[in-house]
Structure 1
Amino acid sequence: MFNIVLVEPQIPPNTGTIGRLCVNLGATLHLVKPLGFDIDDKAVTRAGLDYWKELDLVVWNSFDDFLEAHPIDKKTHLATTKTDKLYFQADFKKGDYILFGSETKGLREDILLDNA
């Protein structure tokens, strides 16, 4: 279905909760390093409840590695407060990627300038 991409997430319970959501949606969760926690952190798995072991999870070593495999195109949606586009205006399709930046930094400025 969908691909949820968390770029350099910092808060373990946020990631765990999004992982649980992904399982329920049938979505793949992509985590882009560096992470602000260990993937086995109890706060991650606690927030993910029993769903975490069923999660379709892909971990990338860097955002550049992710972009090399999945260049930003019409199937990519940026979740950011730095745009006038609203999420409900997007034309989501099966297989799309929704990118979320770090809770503390957001997405890289160059990505936003070129695509938001």
Structure 2
Amino acid sequence: MRLALFQPDIPQNVGAALRLAACLDVDLEVIEPCGFPLSDKAVRRAALDYGRLARWTRRASFEDFLAAPERAEGRLILFTTRGAEPLHSVAFQAGDTLIFGRESSGAPEEVHAAAQARVYIPLHPDARSLNLTVSAAIGLSEALRQTGGFPKPRTP
């Protein structure tokens, strides 16, 4: 299972996604360009003490992301407010990559076209959307639950 952020706008969301990925033992891919300077120093600072656990890859473009060998491992699952399937009806697979669009504008058509599934998280009818990392946590939790991919607890 992998988590991907398409051209994120907010550095704090990348930091929270790094911590999420580290805690749930999944890889994170950040697809550039970002809406802020993505430096190694900034990432280390954002990851706080989870930096040693975080596995993340910077992708220079969406084309580089699509060409990465990891794309052969599973499907590309786009989480979007324009999704076709509700989260609870999707059958996830261990090799899937869950991708989330920009906070300001979502995912462009090229990302929609590349995805094998477009998923939405059902919300109250008057609610517009969730925070990016909250959405990632909800989607990733369901995917890991279905695939038995949660980290094993430490034994005392």
Q: What is the aligned length?
A: 113
Higher mean displacement: 53-62 or 103-112: 103-112
Q: Over aligned residues, Cα RMSD in angstroms?
A: 2.3
How far, CA to CA, are the matches of 1:92 and 1:109 in structure 2? 23
Contact 2:74/2:93 (<8 A) preserved: no
How far, CA to CA, are the matches of 2:99 and 2:5 in structure 1? 6
How far, CA to CA, are the matches of 2:113 and 2:35 in structure 1? 25
Q: Which has the higher contact order (CA 8 A, sep 6+)?
A: 1
User: Where in structure 1 do 4 or more consecutive aligned residues deviate above 3 Å?
Assistant: 70-74, 113-116
Contact 1:16/1:52 (<8 A) preserved: no
SS in 1 for 2:85: coil
Give the 3 Å change call, closer, same or farther, for CA 18–80 of structure 1 in structure 2. Answer: same
How far, CA to CA, are the matches of 1:63 and 1:97 in structure 2? 14
* Counterpart residue identity of residue 102, structure 2: S
How far, CA to CA, are the matches of 2:73 and 2:82 in structure 1? 18
Match of 1:98 in 2: 98
Match of 1:88 in 2: 88
Unaligned runs of 5+ in 1: none
Unaligned runs of 5+ in 2: 119-156
Match of 1:52 in 2: 51
- How many angstroms does 1:14 deviate by? 0.7
How far, CA to CA, are the matches of 1:97 and 1:28 in structure 2? 9
* Counterpart residue identity of residue 3, structure 2: I
- How many angstroms does 1:64 deviate by? 1.1
Contact 1:5/1:31 (<8 A) preserved: yes
* Counterpart residue identity of residue 26, structure 2: A
How high is the TM-score relative to the length of structure 2? 0.63
